[in-house]
A and B are shown apart, each in its own frame.
Chain A
């Protein structure tokens, strides 16, 4: 009889804070775009006699992260040393916050596609520092210390997740929430977001946790999900075959799509944590927290609410537009130009998102600026072009340097709104279609629109689509009645 299993997942996420300078010294934190080993100093290189000095901006950014994730902020917290030897760790210890972190007890509410909800707790957030970057070439290894002592926060979740889907959603929501505060690029590709997973299984209904395995080397959210699924399967299979799970650290091998052992419990490092004597306790006052809270951009939830009130958008539409802060900003910039919230929302949700999906791009890479989109909508609203022509204009503008107005003028896309000119075309069409006129006059109310449509179509065709449909309709209706 096959047992039913439950998986227990916790995630540790490291985020780099883009404070501009490092956490213990004034070196630039711009490590990725600079020549190797040019942003270093005695402090981050761990030279004899050097001492750390806490960068106040790191605390400010860390508080923002805690507020965005609904954590309690500890008024007093402490730094500790985590001691181990590795060439990319210049002091031979990392300064971190081991048992008195600055933030605790937060949460992220995950909603799955099925509608199921899970509240994932955040155990703690701690301030710490990054290491240098190792590069291996054949028999030699090289280290770039530009990244050494970059500020990091580590966000540790409670072991509340029960599936890879929940983990995937958790990561996306965490990324959203933090991205909104602008304290980090939160990009796995750029290395500003790193994730380790802790996975265990237990028979369904059992309260005690199974043995936990840590999985590292996860380089994308999808890899996190796949690794979790693989590891759950491996653990269940091992137990069902009569084996037991060892507490160990494993690496995700993305090529082979398996986890491999990296470090066993016996080889586990004893970090000999003790309080960092070179730094005083970190004190964060209520005043500081409030003043930081005031500088924070509105959260996604707040923005959605505002979109609903100010732009009269439905909650579904608001949710789509607020998916990413860049998209929300794009929307508002376009609305500023054309003053038509509803149409702008529709254009973005249908046309813009379609193009982005086809081209696998993010809104930041979209070839049309918000101002240009706003201009197109403005052209429609002013009657200069028809909705149909506008769609053509949109396609052209995707790859055209000229402004929408310039394109309309150059390509002669402007609607004809000259009533006289349109009337002439309408008269001509009516003259050529006596049968349709008869048809219309005979038709009942239900059929009339269809006949009208046919006549409209002829007028539009005769005017090469440029006649203002509103005027055409009005003229036809008057002349036929």
Chain B
């Protein structure tokens, strides 16, 4: 008999809807579990026990009264600390937003509430989503539930570990260069980055506006599809959304991938990939072949420029997006102030961590007079070439398969240089640059750590990659999350 926290979101929702269990009791149990486990993991930076129990009680009352309830009725979910929710601490895990409470709800938060989900708290992340390890959070590290001497990945490390440690059924993360998919792979769970323009960014503290997307972490693909039904779609407040109909994503999970053309890009199978990871990916490709999918060798020739392009464009946009953190209207304001320059310089120097400062400086540099053409403009041009690589590939195939990461979760005390950390994103970054949807699904183990396979779809092709991911789960067999830490 599975314990409550071992169930999937779909399963627990069914039990709540049928009256078999009360949302309030589920929420209580989740909070007990968090209390018992989070000291070892560190998924959460703030918890909302009172509000959550009140929300849960409301859902229970609605159900008891026979009223219609939303698609995530009573399900405890957590959100990344860069998502603004009304009245709750929202800080992007940065000292510069110490004590800041949201003055409005992000659109995705509003949608979760409308779906009657119960938001239990905020999860840990790399400061302002800049990182691949969650180590740059101002609140401290998060540990990988599979091996607490290792990182959960980043930047959405806390959201990933919360699902992996069964502290939440669904969490939301954000992905700018791989920050959902990489932690999903490291933590052995499903992580989906939607197409750029699929999910509203209103209320998500911007890192790189043309790359950021919000997506779910879940225990299985079905839960991810369920969450997408709730968070996808148009919104008056985000001008970059595309008016594409939101299908019922769960209907895509037919288990049938016969005839699906899956492209395997040679540039993603290079020297330096952990041999154990390579073995898992090769076996996964075989599984798809056995399921009747057609495996096609393709080339994405500009892949080698992706990391450089990203580390020009993302910091450039970030340097501008983070200019609003100046201590004038909200957030940390230095007390050591004798002039307006002091106010800006000291507040920001005190409030921002090193990686954030590093990226602001890079971004400012590549936008500055005399360098804009050589860096920013050039990077935008190469970005278009990377996008065109995918467009050409999608004339031949329905989706692209690749490793999510070249390795498994690295150790917390691994002294990686900033550049080495940047190279962690090598397989995930292109999907952000091209604005395409990408999912990471647990495919196997290497060095006793989980390995995720990545599927990248056409623009608004979430249904295809969800179907392929779900099919893989069916042949992969049961996937057990770690119980003790």
**What is the interface of chain A, defined by CB distance below 8 A to chain B?**
42, 45-54, 81, 83, 85, 87, 90-93, 143, 270, 272-274, 277-280
Contact = CB atoms under 8 A, between A and B. Distances in A.
A264 to B, nearest CB: 16
B239 A51 contact: yes
Interface of B: 82-84, 90, 92, 97, 100, 103-104, 106, 201-206, 208-210, 236-240, 316-317, 319-320, 322-326, 328-330, 340, 344, 364, 367-369, 372, 376
Most buried by B among A83, A92, A273: A92
Given A49-B84, A53-B237, A280-B239, A83 B320 contact: yes
B90 A48 contact: yes
A91 B325 CA distance: 8
Contact of A48 (B205, B237, B326): B205
Contacts of A52: 239
Given A92-B326, A277-B209, A277-B240, A50 B202 contact: yes
A91 B104 contact: no
Nearest to B348: A85
A274 B367 contact: yes
A87 B364 CA distance: 19
A365 to B, nearest CB: 40
Contacts of A92: 320, 322-324, 326
A48 B238 contact: no
5 contacts: A42-B104, A48-B90, A90-B329, A273-B367, A274-B372
A51 B368 contact: no
Nearest to B242: A280
A274 B320 contact: yes
A278 B239 contact: yes
A242 to B, nearest CB: 31
A240 to B, nearest CB: 33
A49 B367 contact: no
| Interface of B (DSSP majority class) | loop
Contacts, number: 98
Contacts of B376: 274
A91 B84 contact: no
Contacts of B323: 83, 85, 91-93
A136 to B, nearest CB: 11
Contacts of A51: 201-202, 206, 237-239
B406 to A, nearest CB: 29
Contacts of B330: 47
B351 to A, nearest CB: 13
The 7 A-B residue pairs whose C-beta atoms are closest, nearest first, are: A92-B323, A277-B209, A272-B367, A277-B210, A48-B205, A49-B203, A46-B324
B326 A85 contact: yes
A277 B317 contact: yes
B106 A280 contact: no
Contacts of B97: 48
Contacts of B210: 277
Nearest to A276: B209
A58 B465 CA distance: 41
B203 A279 contact: no
A67 to B, nearest CB: 25
B380 to A, nearest CB: 8
B154 to A, nearest CB: 19
B367 A48 contact: no
B17 to A, nearest CB: 32
Contacts of B344: 85
B340 A87 contact: yes
A89 B134 CA distance: 32
Given A49-B90, A51-B239, 16 more contacts: A47-B84, A48-B205, A48-B324, A48-B325, A49-B106, A49-B201, A50-B203, A51-B202, A51-B206, A85-B323, A90-B329, A92-B322, A92-B326, A93-B320, A277-B240, A278-B209
Nearest to A25: B237
Contact of B239 (A47, A49, A53, A93): A53
Contacts of A47: 84, 103-104, 324, 329-330
Contacts of A143: 328
A42 B329 CA distance: 11
B209 A49 contact: no
B438 to A, nearest CB: 20
B329 A45 contact: yes
Nearest to A82: B320
Contacts of A54: 239
A273 B368 CA distance: 8
Contacts of B203: 49-50
Most buried by B among A51, A52, A92: A51
Contacts of B208: 277
A279 B201 CA distance: 12
A87 B328 contact: yes
Contact of B92 (A48, A50, A277): A48
B295 to A, nearest CB: 36
B23 to A, nearest CB: 28
A311 B286 CA distance: 89
Most buried by A among B83, B103, B320, B368: B320
Contacts of B206: 48-49, 51, 278
Contacts of A42: 103-104
Most buried by A among B240, B328, B368, B372: B328
A278 B240 contact: yes
A274 B324 contact: no
B240 A280 contact: yes
B84 A48 contact: yes
B211 to A, nearest CB: 9
B239 A270 contact: no
A115 to B, nearest CB: 45
A272 B240 contact: no
Most buried by A among B201, B319, B326: B326
Contacts of B236: 53
Contacts of B320: 81, 83, 92-93, 272, 274
A45 B324 CA distance: 9
A49 B322 CA distance: 11
Nearest to A279: B239
A272 B376 CA distance: 10
Most buried by B among A42, A85, A92, A272: A272
A143 B316 CA distance: 28
B106 A90 contact: no
Contact of A49 (B204, B317, B328, B372): B204
Contact of B324 (A90, A272, A273, A280): A90
A24 to B, nearest CB: 9
A301 to B, nearest CB: 38
A50 B317 CA distance: 15
A416 to B, nearest CB: 72
Most buried by B among A48, A87, A91, A93: A48
A46 B331 CA distance: 12
A280 B238 CA distance: 10
A278 B350 CA distance: 28
Nearest to A280: B239
